[in-house]
Structure 1
Amino acid sequence: MPRIVVAPDGRRLAVEERGKPDGTPVFYLHGTPGSRLGPSPRAQVLYRLGVRLITFDRPGYGLSDRMPNRTVASIAADVAAIADALEVDGFSVVGRSGGAPHALACAALLPERTRRAAALVSLAPHSAEGLDWFAGMAESNVFEYLVARAGPHLAATRLASLASQIRADPESKVLSIGQEGGRADRRIVSDHGLRRMMVRNFTEALRHSADGWVDDVLAFSSDWGFDPAVIRVPTLVWHGENDVFAPVGHARWLGRRIPNATVCIQRGLAHLDALSVLPRVLPWLTRELVEPAR
C-alpha cells in the first residue's frame, strides 16, 4: 500500500518506496501518462546498488489529488514535502520522459537538497530558442501538443477519450507505442516483463481520470516556471538518438543550456531504452552522496 503524504496546501500525494530502506535516497519521477508503479529496477537490483528509490503519483494521477493550473516548477514543492515526511534531507532525482522536466525543476529550485539530477529522454521547454520543437516528433505527440496549445478544454476532451480507451485495453496502448516508436522501442515492448510493468503503470495512472495527463501536457506547453540555465548541480542528460516521442534535438538543446551538463546520446536507441538504462544511471546519481569527502 502507498504512503499518503499531505502537501502544505492539503493535497494528498501517494508515495511508494523500493530498494534498501536505509540506502541512498533517489526520487524517480514517472513518465506521461504514468504513476508511482511505473517500470523500475527490481528490488534486488536496487538493494545491491544501495538505493532507496522513492516514487509518487504526480498530482492528478493514480491516488494523488489534482493540482489545477500546475506548472513544471510546481513539482519541486511536492518533492520537498515528501522528503520532509520521509525525513530525507539530501537526495538525487531522476526523471524519465514526462518526468524528466520535473527532475530538472528539482535541480533548479531545490539546489540545497538536490545533489545530482538525471533527465532521461526529456523534452525541452516549448519556447526553447533556436529549437524546432516538433522536428522529428511522432505524429500522435505533435497532435497532442497542438491540441493543448489550442486550449485546456480541447486537451481535456481528447485525453479523456484516450484514457477511456487505455483503461479498456492498456496492453494495446503499450503495443502502439512500440509500433510508432520504431525498431528500438518494439524491442523493449517485446520484453514480457517490461510490458507487464507498463500495463500496470498506465492502469494505475488513469484509474480515475485523465486529469494528470491533461495537466502534464498543458504544463509542457506553457512556461515551465524556471530556466534550465540556472541549474548548478551535476546533471546528466541522456537520450536515445532514434527517439520520436521526445526528439534528440531537445536533449542537445538542454545540454547547451544547462551549465556543465553531462550529455549522453546513444546511437541505435530510442525512447523506451530509458527503462533499461536506469540501473546504469543510478550509481552515478548516488556517487556524491555515498563517497567520503576529500
Structure 2
Amino acid sequence: MAAGTTGVAASAPRAGAAMSGAAKKLPLALLVFFSALLYTQIQPPPSKIPGTPGGPPVTAPRTRLRDGRHLAYLESGVPKEKAKYKIIFVHGFDCCRHDVLNVSQALLEELGIYLLSFDRPGYAESDAHPARTEKSISLDVAELADNLRLGPKFHLIGFSMGGEIMWSCLRYIPHRLAGVAILAPVGNYWWSGFPPDVVREAWHVQFPQDQRAVWIAHHLPWLTHWWNTQTLFRGSSVKHGDPAILSKEDRLVAHKFMERPYKEQVRQQGEHDSLHRDMMIGFGTWDWSPLEMQNPFAGAEEEVKVHLWHGVEDLYVPVQLSRYISKKLPWVIYHELPTAGHLFPVADGMPDVIVKSLLLGDE
C-alpha cells in the first residue's frame, strides 16, 4: 500500500508539469492562429488578368511594354498622322480610358488634335503592375507614346489621381513634354515643404473616414486592402461614392459618372491593383517632393507651359495643397475656380476651355 501511494504521489508532479507546459504553449499557439487568420484577412485576392482563363476579355487595342505588360488605349480626334497637337490624357481614381476629357469634336477638328487615353495599370484592360511606383507610371506614358509613334514630344492632361501623376512626368520625362494641364490633382500630405498649418487645414476638409483611409495608406500600406474592404468601420467616401462628398456644382454633373455604361469594367481585375495601389502610391512615402521642383523647362528653346486647375469647393481633394504648390512654383500657371468642386472637368464646355488654355494660351 505504501509503495503504491508513493507511485501515485510521484506521478502528480509530472502531470502538473505537463499541464503547466501546455498552459505556457497556449498563448503562443493562439498568437500563431490569430496571426495566420489576420494574414489571410489582409491578403488581397489575386488579380484577374485580362485575356486569360477566368479573367476579363480583351476588347480594346493594347500595346506591349518592354517588361511584358500590356496597356489598353483609346484614340480619338483627328488621325495622328495629320494632327498638329497630340495629347495624352491620364485618368483618375476609379476611372478608365473611356473617362477621357470630353473635348468637342468641333475643337478637335479645328485645332487638329489627336487625343489618346489609356487604362492605367490594374484598371479595366491594362495589366496590373505590382511593382508600380510614382516613377514607373511616367515611364509607361513615355513608352506608350513611343509604341504609338507620337513623336518626340506631346501634351499631357491628368485629372485627380492622374493629375498627381503629372508631377512625376514633369520630373522624369520633361524632355518629352510640349505642355501640361494638371486638373484637381491629388496631393500627398506628407510631401516635404508643406507648412503644418496648410496641411492641417487641408486635412480637416476631408471627412473623418477619408482621413483614416489616407492615414492607413501612408503609415500602414499593408493594411490598405483590408481597411478598404472591411465592414466594421465606414470606408473611403471616394471609393464608395458617398454623395455627401459632392459639392453643389458636382451634384449637377455627377450623373455623368453614375451612368457610365462601362462602369463595371473599371474594377474588373479586382480592387487591389487598381484602387488600393493608387492610394498606397499616391499617399505613400516619396523620395522627392513636387514643392522642391525647379522649372524643368528653364532655358528650353521652346516655351513649355504648365497649367494647374483646382476648384475651391473640392471635397475630394482639398484646394489648399494645390494653392500652396502654385505659390512655391512660380513657373506654374494657376487657375482657381471659386465655385467649382472636384468634377469641373466634366462640366459642359469646360474641356474645351482647358484644352484651348493649354494649346493656345487662352486664359
Q: Tell me, in whole angstroms, the C-alpha distance in 2 between the residues paired with 1:175 and 1:215.
A: 16
Query: How large is the RMSD of aligned CA atoms in angstroms?
Result: 2.5
Pair member with larger Rg: 2
Matched, 1:180 2:245: yes
Q: Tell me, in whole angstroms, the C-alpha distance in 2 between the residues paired with 1:69 and 1:141.
A: 25
The structure-2 alpha-carbon separation of the partners of 1:124 and 1:176, relative to structure 1 and needing over 3 Å to count, comes to closer
1:206 to 250, 260, 267: 267
1:215 to 248, 269, 277: 277
Shift of 1:245: 0.8
Shift of 1:186: 0.7
Q: What is the DSSP-based 3-state SS (H/G/I as helix, E as strand, rest coil) of the residue aligned with 1:230?
A: coil
Shift of 1:158: 3.5
Shift of 1:150: 4.0
CA deviations over 1:79-119 (Å, ceiling 9, x no partner): 01100011112101111111001122112211111111111
Q: Which residue of 1 aligns with 2:307?
A: 236
Q: Which residue of 2 aligns with 1:169?
A: none
Larger CA deviation: 86-95 vs 103-112: 103-112
Q: Which residue of 2 aligns with 1:18?
A: 76
Q: Which residue of 2 aligns with 1:166?
A: none
Maintained 8 Å contact 1:179/1:186 = no
Q: Which residue of 1 aligns with 2:212?
A: 143
Matched, 1:258 2:323: no
Residue type of the partner of 1:145? V
Q: Tell me, in whole angstroms, the C-alpha distance in 1 between the residues paired with 2:325 and 2:346.
A: 20
Which 5+ residue runs of structure 1 have no aligned equivalent? 163-172, 289-294
Q: Which residue of 1 aligns with 2:62?
A: 4
Maintained 8 Å contact 2:124/2:266 = yes
Maintained 8 Å contact 1:177/1:185 = no
Residue type of the partner of 1:143? R
Q: Tell me, in whole angstroms, the C-alpha distance in 1 between the residues paired with 2:230 and 2:96.
A: 19
Q: Tell me, in whole angstroms, the C-alpha distance in 2 between the residues paired with 1:134 and 1:81.
A: 36
Maintained 8 Å contact 1:4/1:12 = yes
Q: Which residue of 2 aligns with 1:30?
A: 91
Maintained 8 Å contact 2:89/2:100 = no
Q: Which residue of 1 aligns with 2:355?
A: 282
Q: Tell me, in whole angstroms, the C-alpha distance in 1 between the residues paired with 2:208 and 2:92.
A: 19
Runs of 4+ in 1 over 6 A off after TM superposition: none
Structure number with greater CO (CA < 8 Å, separation at least 6) is 1
Q: Which residue of 1 aligns with 2:254?
A: 189
Maintained 8 Å contact 2:137/2:165 = yes
Shift of 1:242: 0.5
Q: Quick one: percent identity of the two aligned structures?
A: 23
The structure-2 alpha-carbon separation of the partners of 1:43 and 1:140, relative to structure 1 and needing over 3 Å to count, comes to farther
Q: Tell me, in whole angstroms, the C-alpha distance in 2 between the residues paired with 1:270 and 1:104.
A: 21
Q: Which residue of 2 aligns with 1:292?
A: none
Larger CA deviation: 130-139 vs 69-78: 130-139
Maintained 8 Å contact 2:154/2:176 = yes
What is the 5 A alignment of 1:103-182? Answer: 103-128=166-191, 129-130=194-195, 131-132=198-199, 133-160=202-229, 176-182=241-247
State how many pairs are aligned. Answer: 275
Matched, 1:93 2:162: no
Which 5+ residue runs of structure 2 have no aligned equivalent? 1-58, 232-237, 298-304
